[in-house]
Amino acid sequence: MKPTLRAVAEAVGVSRSTVSNAYGRPDQLSPQLRQRILDTARQMGYPGPDPTARSLRRGFVGAIGVLFTSRLSYAFTDPFAVRFLTGVAEAAERHESSLLLVPLPGEPAGARKAVENAAVDGFCVYCAGDEEGILDTIRGRGLPFVTTSARPREGDRWVGIDERAAARSVAEHLTGLGHRRVALLGHDVLPDAPTGPLRVTDVADVPHPTTRDRLAGFADAFAAAGIRWPELTVLTAPDNTRVAGAAAVRKLPAGVEPPTAVLACSDVLALGALEVLRGAGQDPRPVSVTGFDDIAEAAPAGLTTVRQSGEDKGRSAAALLLDPPPDATTRQILLPTTLVVRTSSGPVPRS
Amino acid sequence: MKPTLRAVAEAVGVSRSTVSNAYGRPDQLSPQLRQRILDTARQMGYPGPDPTARSLRRGFVGAIGVLFTSRLSYAFTDPFAVRFLTGVAEAAERHESSLLLVPLPGEPAGARKAVENAAVDGFCVYCAGDEEGILDTIRGRGLPFVTTSARPREGDRWVGIDERAAARSVAEHLTGLGHRRVALLGHDVLPDAPTGPLRVTDVADVPHPTTRDRLAGFADAFAAAGIRWPELTVLTAPDNTRVAGAAAVRKLPAGVEPPTAVLACSDVLALGALEVLRGAGQDPRPVSVTGFDDIAEAAPAGLTTVRQSGEDKGRSAAALLLDPPPDATTRQILLPTTLVVRTSSGPVPRS
DNA sequence: GATCCAGTCTGGATCGATCCAGAGATTAGT
DNA sequence: ACTAATCTCTGGATCGATCCAGACTGGATC
């Protein structure tokens, strides 16, 4: 059995408080005594105050929870999520806080339990799906949190971008190039929908909030160009991964007039699409492809996309949690986006 | 103030134990009473047992610590480290364990404190540098741990590859192709060495254990081909990053006979090297480049490399921690590696 | 009808620390 | 020399739960 603080106190012949102070507040005792305590502690093999006991008493843990509303191990396959995490880690490092990555099981009850059992001082919720249940559980615990949710509640801390306007900007880039027959590509467009083309009667039906907002932004641009929502082809992918993007594009109906452009809701989907559309044996007429996020792989692939900084998002989120601005008005941070035009998009080829 | 378990007990008119059992062991009380407890708890806004208090009493946290012996936010820039983390996350998900990512400050004292303050049941230590101090601190706490250290102690849980043999295999591939004038590229080859070519008198002087083992493996192959250590040019990079790799290669002395091959200790370094050596305005005579790890970016770049699975490493490490095999002999897992030959390596061009 | 047993529920002890009001001893101030 | 201030150190209360030995019921067993 490991010795405890009490054992050290008895060995040295002082009170427990004094030993505690030797570790936590050196100014509360004489340097000599402190040294004597530390020495015998070391010699007894006492590893210092137990973190759990300390947390209980102090009411403070020194860790922030990071929640991905998707499987945790999947999260790492999404480069943008990794950048976000990098930003969070950077801010946490500065605050000497640890990060608790909590895996959320699929079923809501399990997810609830996981959130309730996490020993943290607050949460950064990276929203990649439905999250209201999660947020309510956090609220129930009375812990502070920051979301990147598509539509934050009044007063909630939030960091994000104007998804819809950003999406609109890429789409306008394409309508400007003359594209009229396009396919939109997102993941989780409709619940349980198989990979492939869909008729979505209303954008509002899309359950995944980010996908919904981006599709809506695309639609805005096309509406301005005289193309209404029901005329747009929507492709859906089961995951936000390259292979899923590739698979979705392969399901484009052969024979009928193919789209002249594919607008993806993320770079990984777009890169998957590019692979297929630029791959060997394809129709030589190039199809324009655009992405979203501007991950590292986008530039070498020449992908036209919308840039947003995952690091900034993560950093801001963690900062909002770790030292929140006193006035509630500055607790929602809108980050900028930029349209980055590369070679993957071009004018409609003449037929 | 949030209500506690005691408050709920008083409200319902039962003992604290009973409320505790309502959450933790439903079989210990009648379903009706349990329901009544849960209902009033919900209505009072009691979020369930406090995780910290529970951990203290139970002596079990439900989280494993993950340590990177480099800055945490840097770790995410290393694709192989991310794969490792993915594997760890996968195993943790299965065990309903959380992952505590602990940022380690540069100075040993701070790192020690960080490890001592982490509320976890054990550690996965991803060794990317010197780690003995870290491991000693963990041992001091009496917590189990798994390392990927270059040279594990007898009895320690470990998962890794035969670094030296694997490195030797790529190098033999190159000597087989006729390469004799080569440059080795690693990071942290010598402490505080500037980027660029070095004379390293002895491989054993290299402080970074992985770099050392891989360089030694390279040297083995060249020794077999009649080239002794001091004749080998070693390039060093300050970081294990693409830009650092590129910078190191740019420092190759111009004018003198350039190497016909660059053997890097990692794919990111190799990719940086490739960028420079295949870039515009370069000597048209192609220099062979090899990497190590086979990260996702290696294949599209045509990089010859040694494949090892980061996911497997992470998964095995976490498994070794979460349900260790009873017999100590199987607590060290040697994972396989494969030489993957692609287009970045070829025969020595005739001059 | 005494015994045994399973099913429920209780309450004091405990996990390992930190907090805080205050006791004693020293030093400083006038 | 006497009060005030400062420095050290103490010990009981507390953080919020879980553990465990045992009490109490009501029904089955022989």
pLDDT tens, residue by residue, A321-351? 998 888 877 899 999 999 999 999 999 987 6
pLDDT at B102: 97
Task: Check if the beta carbon of residue A69 is closer than 8 Å to that of residue A104.
Answer: yes
Q: Tell me, what DSSP letter sits at residue B322?
A: H
CB contact under 8 A, B119 and A85: no
Q: At a CB cut-off of 8 Å and minimum separation 6, what does B109 contact?
A: none
Q: What is the pLDDT of residue B128?
A: 66
Please list every residue in chain B whose beta carbon sits closer than 8 Å to the beta carbon of residue A83: 76
Distance, in Å, from the CA atom of B224 to the CA atom of B216, rounded to the nearest integer, reads 12
pLDDT for A258: 86
CB of A6 lies under 7 Å from some atom of strand C:
yes
- Compute the count of residue pairs across chains A and B with CB atoms less than 8 Å apart: 131
In terms of Cα–Cα distance, which of A197, A193, A160 is closest to A182? A197
Buried b (16+ CB within 10 A) or exposed e, A239-274: bbbbebbbbbbbebeeeeebbbbbbbbbbbbbbbbb
Q: Give residue limits of the domains in chain B.
A: 5-58, 63-161+310-335, 163-307
User: Residue A129 pLDDT more than 80?
Assistant: no
**Chain B CB within 8 Å of residue A281 CB:** no
Which among A116, A94, A96, A95 has a CA at the least distance from the CA of A105? A116
Q: CA–CA separation, A49 vs B116, rounded Å?
A: 8
Nearest by CB to residue B93, choosing from A50, A71, A142, is A71
What was the pLDDT predicted at B282? 66
| Nearest Cα to Cα of residue A306 among A174, A215, A170, A127 | A170
- Residue B40 to residues A36, B49, B50, Cα–Cα distance (Å): 52, 14, 17
Strand D: which positions are within 7 A of a protein CB? Answer: 7-21
Pairwise CB contact (< 8 Å): A116 & B53 = no
Average pLDDT over residues A56-82: 94
Which residues of chain A neighbour B145 with C-beta distances below 8 Å? none
Interface residue A90 vs chain B (CB under 8 A): yes
Q: Does A92 touch chain B (CB under 8 A)?
A: yes
Give A217-226 pLDDT, tens digit per residue: 999 999 999 9
DSSP state of A264: E
Among the partner-chain residues A52, A85, A140, the one whose CB lies closest to the CB of B45 is A140
A contact residues 188-227, partner B, Cβ 8 Å cutoff: none
Contact A119 B85 (CB under 8 A): no
pLDDT above 90 (res A280): no
- Residues of A with Cβ-Cβ distance to B117 under 8 angstroms: 48, 51, 54, 62
Low-confidence ranges of chain B (pLDDT < 70): 128-130, 255, 280-284, 351
Between CA B216 and CA B94 the distance in angstroms is 38
The fold of the A5-58 domain, in CATH, is 434 Repressor (Amino-terminal Domain) (1.10.260)
Residue A80, pLDDT > 80, answer yes
CATH number for B163-307: choose from 3.40.50.2000, 3.40.50.2300, 3.50.50.60, 3.40.50.1370: 3.40.50.2300
Looking at domain A63-161+310-335, which of 3.30.750.24, 3.40.50.2300, 2.60.120.860, 2.30.40.10 is its CATH number?
3.40.50.2300
Instruction: Kindly write down the DSSP assignment for every residue of A297-345, as one continuous string.
Output: THHHHT-BEEE--HHHHHHHHHHHHHS--SSGGGGEEEEP-EEE--TT-
C-alpha closest to that of B14 among B24, B2, B25, B22:
B22
Chain B residues 119-148 within an 8 A CB cutoff of chain A: 119, 137, 140-142
Please tell me the distance in Å from A293's CA to the nearest CA on chain B: 17
Of residues B48, B89, B141, nearest to A116 (C-beta): B48
- DSSP-derived pairing of the beta strands A288-290 and A261-264: parallel
Domains A5-58 and A63-161+310-335 share a fold: no
Q: Report in angstroms the alpha-carbon separations of A26 from A54, A86, B110, B141.
A: 17, 34, 16, 22
pLDDT by residue (tens digit) across A21-35? 999 999 999 999 999
> Which residue carries 């945490």 as its tokens?
B72
Are A123 and A66 in contact by the 8 Å Cβ rule? The answer is yes
